[in-house]
Structure 1
Amino acid sequence: MIYCFSIVIGGGVPESERAKELSKQLGVDILPLQVIQGHTPFRELVKRYEDDLIVAVGKGAPGRVMTEYGFKNVLSIDDYASCFPNIDPLAQYKKWTKMQPTDREMALRTDPCSQRVQAVFIVSDPVDWSRDIQVLCDILRTGGLPGREIAHQPPLFFANDDIAYQALFPAERLGMGAFRIALESIFNRIHTNNMEYTSYGKPNPFVFKNAENVLLQVLQSAYNNIQSSGEMQPFKRLYMIGDNPSVDINGAKQAGHPWFSILTRTGVFKGIGNHADYPADLVVNSVEEAVDYILRKEHTS
């Protein structure tokens, strides 16, 4: 019996780096291929924007993430904003911001002031909402050239659309979906056309199909006799363990067979029974309980 684990987690760092962290924490070898983060599907857009100037937004190292995917002309929003004097009117009050020399050199080398931004990618949760909304409105309203005339909006991509998530604070924290709502509300108020965007991440069935493809690649790399041709379905069951009914469970339900949804009471969901709107196939108290169930179900110990 073979078990493949495709780990769907938050982003902001390259999959290769996350795989190393998980390997150390779990005591097993995790391949970068087995790590699916919210922004992982962005690599499918490399051919479309490989040489174009793109802006990457979010915590961690969004520029490095996109560079590892193969994008050749990437700037983080920190780098991009630093090249436009006074673009953030509140910058003087943000004593906590700090620019790294290597980032500034990269930003100046690309001369973004004379290039149109061809696409914007929200890679992970934005840190400085006030600046990012201001700069993104500038980019989107002017066709990628802040300070210039109004022009057609460049494409905008979000890694996920989670409005809230459970962190260390007792109450849920606002996520990327909340940032998207804030940006969209302001943009639509000041611009003649509504903001256009594409949102990846759960509950989009694409995410689950992509996870299936990744798992199949892992199997094929280990067992050459497994083929993915035709209508073959190598998986009897795939388990989705999550704590957010509207995102995790809803996504698994939309994806359909072979997905089996397990809802945990460890995060967003803390109800006694099942969720009323997005009921899971199974509700448990913890991830450990979910894993125990899977091992029993699959006849192993």
Structure 2
Amino acid sequence: MAVWGVFAALRAAPRLWRRASRAAAGFRGTFFGRGYSVDPAQVRATQSPPTFGFLLDIDGVLVRGHQVIPAALEAFRRLLDARGQLRVPVVFVTNAGNISQHDKAKELSTLLGFKVEPDQIVLSHSPLKLFFQHHGKRMLVTGQGPLVENARALGFENVVTVDELRLAFPVLDMVDLQRRPKTTPHLRTDFPAIEGKGVSLGVGGSGVLLLGEPVRWETSLQLIMDVLLSNGNPGTVLATVPYPHLPVLASNMDLLWMAEAKMPRFGHGTFLLCLEAIYRKLTGRELRYCGLTGKPSLLTYRYAEELIQRQAVKRGWAVPIQKLYTVGDNPMSDVYGANLFHQHLQAAQQGGMESPLDAHSCTSILVGTGVYSPAAPGPVEQPPFHGHRDFGLSPGLLEAAHVVNDVDEAVRLVLRQEGWA
């Protein structure tokens, strides 16, 4: 499976940042944010290099929509030293993908009141940087936000958006009566972003890149299906359905996510569910992914762990980070993923596969400020499985090691366990 090949490549990749100088490196420049009061004990604690770090979810843990959760400010008051620098390595792991790493770091810096660096952010699609074998292909990309910029930052240089394809083939987008062409349009032959006769994604050299939930789902679903069923040339009709189909890469499998509303909102996982159901109904076959990133995928957690270790070296902490603590609000993505990664780390140690610099454990902590609500009445029967089709139901993986009220309680719990309280 292609995903495991990429995972192996990541494990074997040279850790160049660990060859760099281990001199302490703080944040560059000055950041004027919230004034955090720091206990003297916290300053003393920074003299001992940390052996643990945090992987923090964002939506439902630190923020709800555009509003910061008060407990998040308290949590970082404990995690920052007198100079406003983190006492332990922290990486923010989110399944959001409709923003750039730089802008997400800037947004968090404003909300939390201290400098968050872009290399502390793992978006749902960040690990797609490792799928080198697909970077040279012409990819139909869907999602929102700076789509083309994000795709290029990941290494995909030749991308086509759904809107570009829709304008090139106006007769394909027919659900919205207001957008239907009034007359039969001529086929464009001057579309520069796509090669081939007329307008084509290029047979054999194309694919589909799903970076997040789009708007106008009916348009995206229709055009993605057109590309897959035509083998990348939606201007033609093939006698038989091509299978295996063109490569499909997707990020963010969350069925639901938590914003300001009282009830969870549809996530990209809901869109993927629709796409898979339509493909199965039309072809009688299963839609297959060459890569699935974002929580709860192992690749995402491995990628985040690499950033934790890099951050430790950047700060001059000589010892490797051995224990990871993940804090999230979604049992299916945050808890499942953390427990799955913990199983992987344990198996690697038992099999003698681990590097001396790898983490040894990953502990899951579930908070009640987002998708999971401790105040909600318990189900009288087994709740439905909200995970992605390719991640089987394993009830044990959905059980968090710790369940707490909020992120501040989670941080206090970890600091006590590590003797840093």
TM range (shorter): 0.7 to 0.9
SS at match of 1:110: coil
CA–CA distance in structure 2, aligned partners of residues 220 and 196 of structure 1 = 38
Task: Give runs of aligned pairs for residues 10-29 of structure 1, distance below 5 A.
Answer: 10-29=96-115
Q: Which amino acid aligns with 1:139?
A: V
CA–CA distance in structure 2, aligned partners of residues 271 and 81 of structure 1 = 45
The residue number in structure 2 matching 1:32 is 118
How far did 1:140 drift? 0.9
Deviations 1:133-184, CA, capped at 9 Å, x for gaps: 1011101111111132243411111102211122222222221111111111
The 1:91/1:67 distance shift into structure 2, 3 A limit, reads: farther
Task: Give runs of aligned pairs for residues 1-301 of structure 1, distance below 5 A.
Answer: 1-2=49-50, 3-9=88-94, 10-45=96-131, 47-93=132-178, 108-111=191-194, 113-116=199-202, 118-148=206-236, 149=238, 150-152=241-243, 153-197=245-289, 198-223=291-316, 234-256=320-342, 257-271=360-374, 277=395, 278-300=398-420
How far did 1:187 drift? 1.0
Q: Which amino acid aligns with 1:247?
A: S
| TM-score of the aligned structures, taking structure 1 as reference length | 0.85
SS at match of 1:86: helix
| TM-score of the aligned structures, taking structure 2 as reference length | 0.62
Give the aligned CA root-mean-square deviation in angstroms.
Answer: 2.5
Structure of higher RCO (CA pairs closer than 8 Å, 6+ residues apart): 2
Deviations 1:2-55, CA, capped at 9 Å, x for gaps: 41111012111221221222223323222221100101011112x323332112
How far did 1:189 drift? 1.2
How far did 1:185 drift? 0.9
The 1:299/1:274 distance shift into structure 2, 3 A limit, reads: farther
The residue number in structure 1 matching 2:57 is none
How far did 1:118 drift? 1.1
Say whether the 8 Å CA contact 2:200–2:235 is kept in structure 1.
no
Runs of 5+ in structure 1 lacking a partner?
96-106, 227-233
SS at match of 2:249: strand
Say whether the 8 Å CA contact 1:235–1:258 is kept in structure 2.
no
Between the two proteins, what is the percent identity of the paired residues?
Answer: 28
Structure showing greater radius of gyration is: 2
Say whether the 8 Å CA contact 1:19–1:32 is kept in structure 2.
yes
How far did 1:111 drift? 3.2
The 1:19/1:115 distance shift into structure 2, 3 A limit, reads: same
CA–CA distance in structure 2, aligned partners of residues 31 and 174 of structure 1 = 29
Q: What count of residue pairs does the alignment treat as equivalent? A: 282
The 1:208/1:216 distance shift into structure 2, 3 A limit, reads: same
Question: Structure 1 runs of 4+ off > 6 angstroms?
Answer: 273-276
The 1:26/1:108 distance shift into structure 2, 3 A limit, reads: farther
* More moved, 246-255 vs 165-174: 165-174
Q: Which amino acid aligns with 2:193?
A: T
Runs of 5+ in structure 2 lacking a partner?
1-48, 51-87, 181-189, 343-359, 383-394
CA–CA distance in structure 1, aligned partners of residues 310 and 144 of structure 2 = 29
The 1:115/1:253 distance shift into structure 2, 3 A limit, reads: closer
CA–CA distance in structure 2, aligned partners of residues 11 and 294 of structure 1 = 29
Say whether the 8 Å CA contact 2:127–2:299 is kept in structure 1.
no
CA–CA distance in structure 2, aligned partners of residues 210 and 220 of structure 1 = 16
